[in-house]
Every structure is written in structure tokens, then in C-alpha cells.
Structure 1
Amino acid sequence: MSGSGAPEITVDGSRGLRVGIVAAQWHAAVMDGLLAGALAALDELGTAEPTVVRVPGAFELPVVAKALADSGHDAVVALGVVIRGGTPHFEYVCAAATDGLTRVALDTGVPVGFGLLTCDNEQQALDRAGVEGSKEDKGREAATAAVATAVALRKVATPGR
């Protein structure tokens, strides 16, 4: 399972951060789980009222992530799922979304939590979606990573914090 070796991330100093979530709509059961996990993590971390924006699919994640970053959010969480089919569509969408989200983070300096599942089948996606019976909760992990990185960036910008 891909989750072996994952670090346990502790985040201090996240209160008051503005966090945006952009979440795709394809594969509703998977997406509902990812979004619920991200929202639960943000609540536990003390980030009040994240902005949640839904988009059609994974391909649309980067442009809305950029808009959230540009509008003053301290961190963005991008959630989506692409399930392999019988055409090269999977590779194109996965690459475009991944490259786009990376570009958003680098171009804006705002961390983007990567919660884009790229799976061979729906069961693999459900196993990672944080729903009942899942082995992993990638929505929670993406939100925690985004907030932890925002806190780290604050420390870099304000030494001694």
C-alpha cells in the first residue's frame, strides 16, 4: 500500500490561516470522502471556514487553485480523482493537472496540498478516499500538508517564529 512510511505531521501555529479547497465533481463517492477528510483536518487544525469551490473535473483544478492563491489564501488544497480507462486520456489529464498544480504553488508561493488521486480503478480510489473501509485518507493528508507548508513558509518569512 502506498501509505507505508508516511510521516506523522504535527502542525503548530495554523490558527488564522485562510485556506481554500478546490474539489472536482467526478466520482462523487470518492470526492465526498476526500472533501470530508480535508474539512475534518482543517477543523482540527483550527483553520476556520475554508473556502470550498467545486469544479467539473481534475483538469479544472489548477486554474481555480491559482485564483484561490491569488485571492489571499495562505494555502490551497486540490482534490480530485482520475481513474484509468482504455485511452491515453488518463495520462494527459493526470500530467496536466499535476503540472498545473505544481506551477500554481511555484508561481504564487502559496502551498498547494496535492489530493489528486490517480488510480487504475475505482476500488483503489475508494481505498484512499477516507470513506468507510478505506485504508488511507488522502483528503486529510493533502489538507494537513498544505497547512503545514504554509506554517513553514511563515517561519521562513519571519525567522524566530
Structure 2
Amino acid sequence: MAGHGAPELSVDASGARVAIVASSWHTEVMDGLIAGAERALKAAGVTEPTLIRAAGSFELPLVSQACAQAGYDVVVALGVIIRGGTPHFEYVSAAATDGLSRVALDTGVPVGFGLLTCDDDEQALDRAGLPGSREDKGREAAEAALSTWVTLRDLTARR
């Protein structure tokens, strides 16, 4: 598990309009990821994030793109894909990852990457930010997106 070495990202993102786009599969894991993202947003001064549910991880890019186009400053995309016995895992993981990257690059809106791709339920729970979890990937995704938003805002202000 690669949790060691994560940066401490602390920014003031007051005034940022943030959408949390979360898939609907694996409720316990998703509840932890959403709670972690909400904690990070609150700590950064974001008072009213909007939670939008997507059917699954494959749908995260399209819903995230719609949020970016609707005027959100930051999108935090959260999902979980657990490996099964078919190639479905690879296809969905690649499509969602590539799609979320494309949304950020095409729109210029930071997209926090909180998509867990795990071999089993235990790995997902261990990354979900729940009591007893070793990592909080929802928090990390929100912090990274907010930090990117602040960096881009500051770069624009320097022009």
C-alpha cells in the first residue's frame, strides 16, 4: 500500500464551488470516501459542497464533465472498482481514469482522483477513511483538487 509519503496539503479554498461526484456501488466504501472528502473541504473553508451521485465508476467522467461545464470550480470524483474474474475491471478502470484526466485537461477544472481500484473488498475498506482504515483517499482526492485550484487561481492572478 502506498500511503506513506503523502503530502500534507492545507489550503484556503473559501469561496470555491465544489462538486463531489460519487458512484453508487459499494455503499460502505463510498460513505467513507465521501465523508473524507467532506472533512477535507470543510477544513479548507468550503462550506457547501454539492454531492452528485453517478450510477457507477464508468459514469464518473461524464458527470464530472457536466459539473465542470456547469461552473463548478473543483470536482472531486469518487468511486471504487473491485477486481473480479473477468476483464471488466481493466476496461472500467482504464475508461474512468482516462476520462477523468480528459475532463480536467479539456475543461481546466481540477478533478480530484478518488477512484479506488482494488483487488478485493478488504483493500477498498482499508483506503476508505473509515474507522480502522489505514488511508483516507476521499480526503486525499479533495485536498489535491483544492490545492490544484488554488495553484491555478494564483497563476491566473499573476498574469
1:62 matched to which residue of 2? 61
State how far apart, in whole Å, the 2-side matches of 1:20 and 1:130 are. 19
Q: Which residue does 1:10 correspond to in 2?
A: 10
Corresponding position of 1:22 = 21
How far is the alpha carbon of 1:79 from its aligned partner? 0.1
Query: Do structure 1's residue 73 and structure 2's residue 72 form an aligned pair?
Result: yes
Residue 148, structure 1, aligned to residue 147, structure 2? yes
Q: Deviations over 1:16-54 (max 9, x none)?
A: 000111000110000000001101111111112111101
Q: Distance in 1 between matches of 2:7 and 2:20?
A: 22
Aligned partners of 2:52, 2:10: CA distance in 1, in Å?
26
Contact kept, 8 Å, 2:81 with 2:118, in 1: the verdict is yes
Shift of residue 9 of structure 1?
Answer: 1.2
Q: CA shift at 1:10, angstroms?
A: 2.1
SS at 2:11 equivalent: coil
Distance in 2 separating the partners of 1:9 and 1:42: 12
**Contact 2:79/2:114 (8 A) holds in 1:** yes
- Is residue 109 from structure 1 mapped to residue 105 from structure 2 by the alignment? no
Segments of 5+ residues of structure 2 without an aligned counterpart are none
For 1:7, give the aligned amino acid.
P
Q: Give runs of ≥4 in structure 1 deviating > 6 Å.
A: none
Query: Alpha-carbon deviation of 1:11?
Result: 1.1
Aligned residues: 159
Greater Cα shift, 2-11 or 102-111: 2-11
TM normalised by structure 1 equals: 0.97
| TM-score, L = length of structure 2 | 0.98
Tell me the CA shift for residue 55 of structure 1. Answer: 1.1
SS of structure 1 residue aligned to 2:142: helix
The percent of aligned pairs where both chains have the same amino acid is 67
How far has the Cα of 1:8 moved from its partner? Answer: 1.2
Alpha-carbon RMSD: 0.9
